[in-house]
Copies of this chain bind each other. A is one copy, B any other.
Amino acid sequence: MAKLRVHNFSMSLDGYVAGPDQSLEHPLGVGGQRLHEWIFRTRTGRHTILGTEGGETGIDDDFVARGLEGFGAEIMGRNMFGPVRGPWTDDSWTGWWGDEPPFHYPVFVLTHHPRPSIEMEGGTVFHFVTDRIEVARERALDAAAGADVRVGGGGATIREFLRAGLLDELHLAVVPTLLGRGERLFDGTDVAAQGYECVELVASASVAHVRLARTNER
């Protein structure tokens, strides 16, 4: 059965998935980019995101690659599609990713702001969902047509799916850095009560990768 999965979601050692004071200048919050530097050091990350050659292979690269495989649609929160206090309620904003976003499949953006779908180059179509996350899940699973659905983030969206028990798998990349302030993934979210367990721990010299999965079905 098709799954909802999160991959390569980075968290600081003190539990933050974004820095404080998110804005157009700092979409990941102040210092938040430090959480993602490991991805840009990998071969797959460099190739996929930057379009450049080189980069490291090994454990981190394997995880980045795994996080790109088997998906037919994506769900993301409003703050991942556009800046928190930004220009996109005027409908001219088409995401951070230029004319040809790297998704190449339907992307369902959770928002309170209804808006017509946008067809981008390369197969990415942005749909705007003002319904509950259960509805977004159904629509994305339909669109994925048997493939898995990636839940892209950000933190608030993943928290919402975790709380509802609607996420099947969560790959967290615990980065040995301290942000001190910001947005936390596990605040107000009792993932143990929702039946999630850690099913894998593997670390490189830079990142500890942990996979969570729901082991007891509700």
Contacts and interface: CB of A to CB of B under 8 A. Distances in A.
A196 B192 CA distance: 29
A208 B177 contact: no
A200 B207 CA distance: 11
Contacts of A181: 190, 192
Contact of A174 (B13, B177, B184, B206): B13
Contacts of A177: 197-198
Nearest to A186: B14
A210 to B, nearest CB: 5
Interface string A190-205: 1111001110111101
A178 B192 contact: yes
How big is the A interface, by class? 20 to 34
Given A179-B192, A180-B190, A203 B206 contact: no
Contact of A15 (B178, B186, B190, B198): B186
Nearest to A199: B176
A201 B192 contact: no
Contact of A13 (B179, B203, B210): B210
A141 interface: no
A180 B174 contact: no
B201 A205 contact: yes
Contact of A208 (B184, B189, B203, B212): B203
9 contacts: A13-B198, A14-B15, A14-B189, A177-B198, A178-B192, A180-B191, A180-B192, A181-B192, A201-B203
Interface of A: 13-15, 31, 172, 174, 176-181, 184, 186, 189-193, 196-198, 200-203, 205-208, 210, 212
